[in-house]
Structure 1
Amino acid sequence: MEKEEKIVVILLCMALFSLVIAYTFFYSEIPADETMPFSSSSSPGDMVMLQGDILTKRFTYSGDHLLMDVDYGSGVTKVFIPSDSGSKDVDSMINVNDRVLIFGTVSEYEGELEIVVHSSDDVTVI
């Protein structure tokens, strides 16, 4: 290889390395340890945690999805657990008036915020 060709290869490697670093720091998903407490100012897409008391729980009319109303102190919000995310497992381990810790993603349904749980492991009775 000529000297000029070696310089071009080194410059291309440096550019590629810079792009990898930029992607890692600017476009990666929010890590699980950066969840924030749920509040009325949470936005759809936020990863949140919610601690509160279960007021109601019921299955949807179709799909075997679990829907709960949870009082978190500053208000009441809905928590949605899809059937493929362990809704039946969660239903068997919780009862109305249990205090729970829930992790999930904020979503909007019919103009109201709700938390969508992705796994039965994201719901803990405390």
Structure 2
Amino acid sequence: MEKEEKIVVILMCMALLSLAIAYVTFFSGESEGDVMSFSSSSLPGDIVQFEGEVFSKHFTYTGGHLLLDVDYGPGVVSVFIPSNNGADDVDSRLVEGDLVSVRGSVQEYGGELEVVVMAGEDVVVLS
């Protein structure tokens, strides 16, 4: 291999390494800085977190999904926990009246905003 070919190979490796670092830095998923407090101005797709008291809980008629109504002060937030995202686990850990911290994605269902929990660990019982 001649000197020029070695330089080209080294430059290509450096370019690929730079692209890999840029990808990991900018597209590695959500960070804690992306989490906002839930409010009436939250939009579908926002990642939010809030604390409140469990007002009610029940499973859907089909699918085994858990629905929570959480009173967080300014209002009641509907929280949807899919069956494959820990609905049974969350149900076993909390009762009505518990103070919880909830983290999830804002979605719109039936014209109303709700928070969809992506993992059972995103619902933490505080009391």
TM-score bracket, shorter-length normalisation:
0.7 to 0.9
For the residue of structure 2 that corresponds to 1:53, the secondary structure is strand
Where do residues 22-61 of structure 1 align in structure 2 (5 Å cutoff)?
22-31=22-31, 33-34=32-33, 35-61=35-61
Structure 2 Cα separation of the partners of residues 10 and 64 of structure 1: 56
State percent identity of aligned pairs.
58
- Deviation of 1:92 after TM superposition, in Å, equals 2.3
Question: Residue 25 of structure 2 aligns to which amino acid in structure 1?
Answer: F
For the residue of structure 2 that corresponds to 1:22, the secondary structure is helix
For the residue of structure 1 that corresponds to 2:113, the secondary structure is strand
Q: Which residue of 2 aligns with 1:8?
A: 8
Question: Residue 60 of structure 1 aligns to which amino acid in structure 2?
Answer: T
Q: Which residue of 2 aligns with 1:116?
A: 116
Gap regions ≥5 residues in structure 1: none
- Deviation of 1:9 after TM superposition, in Å, equals 0.7
Q: Which residue of 2 aligns with 1:100?
A: 100
Structure 2 Cα separation of the partners of residues 22 and 92 of structure 1: 42
Gap regions ≥5 residues in structure 2: none
Question: Residue 83 of structure 2 aligns to which amino acid in structure 1?
Answer: S
- If the length of structure 1 is used for normalisation, what is the TM-score? 0.87
Deviations 1:55-105 (A, max 9, x none): 121111101111111111122211001111221222222222221111222
Deviations 1:21-57 (A, max 9, x none): 22122222112x3322222222222222120011121
RMSD between aligned residues: 1.6
